[in-house]
Amino acid sequence: MISSKRTKRKPKRTGINFMRRRWMALFVAAMLCACLGFAQSKKKGDEDGRTVQGVVSAPDDSPIIGAVVYLKNTKTLQVRSFITQQNGTYFFHGLSPDVDYELRAENKGASSPTKTLSSFDSRKAANLDLKIKK
């Protein structure tokens, strides 16, 4: 008796369809890498962020040396501080353009009204002067 067992043949991997699939997979992988690289390079460009600076002054418009300026990130509630320099100036850098910040100054128990640096403000370098009220 002759048995008729058929053996399954493995498909050839040299056909046109296989080559098309291979090239398509390589193309998709290359596009994915390019997109990820672009996203990372854009993130690196945002490291500098925004800056805010200004002068802290007394009610008579004279600059106050040694006043403490508080910068509050309204998203994370993180607070940074800066002690004003000789001419009453303060400076904060590396601020995210996507976050609102609140600024206020204090000196000898008196404080200034809170000012907001909005995320809708597109300036890279904002200037906000603070006046301490007694």
> CATH code at 65?
2.60.40.1120
Structure tokens at 13: 């991997």
The answer, yes or no, to whether residue 41 has pLDDT greater than 80, is no
74 and 108 inside one domain: yes
76 and 127 inside one domain: yes
Task: Provide the domain limits for residue 39.
Answer: 14-45
In this predicted structure, what is the pLDDT of residue 126?
92
Total of domains in the chain: 2
40 and 101 inside one domain: no
Amino acid identity, position 99? V
Distance (Å, whole) CA 90 – CA 55? 6
33 and 69 inside one domain: no
20 and 74 inside one domain: no
**Residue 24: inside a domain:** yes
57 and 76 inside one domain: yes
In this predicted structure, what is the pLDDT of residue 1?
55
pLDDT band of residue 45 (cuts 50, 70, 90) is: very low
- More confidently predicted of 23 and 38: 23
28 and 56 inside one domain: no
**Residue 5: inside a domain:** no
**Residue 21: inside a domain:** yes
Give the DSSP H or E segment for 25. helix 16-45
Amino acid identity, position 133? K
Q: Which residues contact 78 (CB under 8 A, 6 or more apart)?
A: 72
Distance (Å, whole) CA 105 – CA 119? 21
In this predicted structure, what is the pLDDT of residue 113?
94
In this predicted structure, what is the pLDDT of residue 111?
92
In this predicted structure, what is the pLDDT of residue 25?
76
Spacing of C-alpha 38 from chain mean position:
16
Structure tokens at 88: 């009453």
Question: Which tens digit of pLDDT belongs to each residue from 48-96?
Answer: 689 999 999 999 999 999 999 999 999 999 999 999 998 999 999 999 9
67 and 90 inside one domain: yes
Average pLDDT of 119-133?
91
Amino acid identity, position 105? A
111 and 69 inside one domain: yes
The answer, yes or no, to whether residue 10 has pLDDT greater than 90, is no
The answer, yes or no, to whether residue 46 has pLDDT greater than 60, is no
First CA to last CA distance, the chain: 113
